[in-house]
Structure 1
Amino acid sequence: EVHIKASPDKFYDVFCNRPHLLPNISPQIIQSVEIQNGKWGTEGSILTYNYILDGKICVAKELVEGIERENNKVNMKIIEGDVLEHYKTFKYDLQATPKENGSVVQWIIEFEKHQNNIPDPHILLQKAAEITKDIDSYLTKK
């Protein structure tokens, strides 16, 4: 969970409907976001993220599995990319809920490792928290 100053609907709008802004908002992590299939902010769309992790440029192709606009929630599944070298499956849920003086953004990750000695993806959660804070800064400085 990450506490932010921005409203949940504004945060959700950037992450779900306008992720192509992320390279400008969080350039130290996100290099590019492109739509491969579908439309921005719609279920069934496929997005490709180029991002930096531990100094390495990585790729993730993600399927938008579910969208709950009324709850500011989106579910994504990685269907191709570097993450799947270590994990058989990798899904995440993102939800922004209103709190006094802003919102709380909750990230939930579900994954299945290829092998037991693979570490849990704590670094990916850390990057998600950094991106969340970057989006908050972008939204609250306007």
Structure 2
Amino acid sequence: MAQTGTLTKQITIKSDGDVFHEIFRYRPHHIADMSPEYIKGVDLHDGHEWGTVGSIITWNYFHDGKPKEAKEKIEAIDEAKKSVCFKVIGGDILEAYKNFMITVHVDTHGEENVVTWTFHYEKLNESVPDPNSLMDFVLSVTKDIETHHLK
């Protein structure tokens, strides 16, 4: 069984793709208001401002019936591709994974926008499951953000 892997899922949203990208880049702290069932709080842990490479963000969230935390560093931002890449540097995810990268990317096509989530990961050992539950979690948050903007 492979210790490293990549998991990618796409979801079509009806809300504005540019706004979706802007939320993950500049306003992730607003996601707690858009998805309160899953996201309990997002704080800028280190860095001068939101949305800059090198900034460290702490996420407090509720996943698999438990409160959890993730500390992520913004590794890369590509405005042309509307993508943000986060490297997990602390928290619950690293109890099962040695390395974990999350990329969220938005393709905008008029009124139809496709959000692509990609996880690149290395398991601590072969008994660790693939992060399918975490992928379902981010897809649920994506739907909540869409619902919030369609109101």
Do these two structures clear the TM 0.5 threshold for a shared fold by scoring above it? yes
Q: List aligned pairs for 1:91-102, cutoff 5 A.
A: 91-102=101-112
| SS in structure 2 of the partner of residue 43 of structure 1 | coil
Look up the match of 1:27.
Answer: 36
Look up the match of 1:43.
Answer: 53
Q: Distance in 2 between matches of 1:9 and 1:123?
A: 27
Structure 1 stretches lacking a partner, 5+ long:
none
Structure 1 stretches of 4+ moved >3 Å: none
- Tell me how far 1:70 sits from its aligned partner: 2.0
Q: Higher relative contact order by CA 8 Å / sep ≥ 6: 1 or 2?
A: 2
Contact 1:4–1:136 (CA<8 Å) still a contact in 2?
yes
| SS in structure 1 of the partner of residue 129 of structure 2 | coil
Query: CA RMSD of the aligned region, Å?
Result: 0.9
Q: Distance in 2 between matches of 1:43 and 1:50?
A: 21
Contact 1:94–1:108 (CA<8 Å) still a contact in 2?
yes
- Tell me how far 1:69 sits from its aligned partner: 1.4
Residue 94 of structure 2 is aligned to residue 84 of structure 1: yes
Could you report, residue by residue, the CA deviation over 1:99-135 in whole angstroms, capped at 9, with x for unpaired residues? 3532000001000001101100001100110111111
Sequence identity of aligned pairs in percent? Answer: 38
Amino acid of the structure 2 residue aligned with 1:110:
H
Q: Distance in 1 between matches of 2:95 and 2:85?
A: 21
| SS in structure 2 of the partner of residue 6 of structure 1 | coil
Q: Distance in 1 between matches of 2:37 and 2:70?
A: 16
Look up the match of 1:5.
Answer: 14
Look up the match of 2:23.
Answer: 14
Q: Distance in 2 between matches of 1:28 and 1:111?
A: 26
**Count, aligned residues:** 141
Q: Distance in 1 between matches of 2:112 and 2:145?
A: 13
Q: List aligned pairs for 1:120-135, cutoff 5 A.
A: 120-135=130-145
Q: Distance in 2 between matches of 1:125 and 1:43?
A: 23
Aligned partner (choices 102, 118, 128) of residue 118 of structure 1: 128
Contact 1:19–1:33 (CA<8 Å) still a contact in 2?
yes
Could you tell which deviates more after superposition, 91-100 or 41-50? 91-100
Contact 1:12–1:96 (CA<8 Å) still a contact in 2?
yes
- Tell me how far 1:5 sits from its aligned partner: 0.5
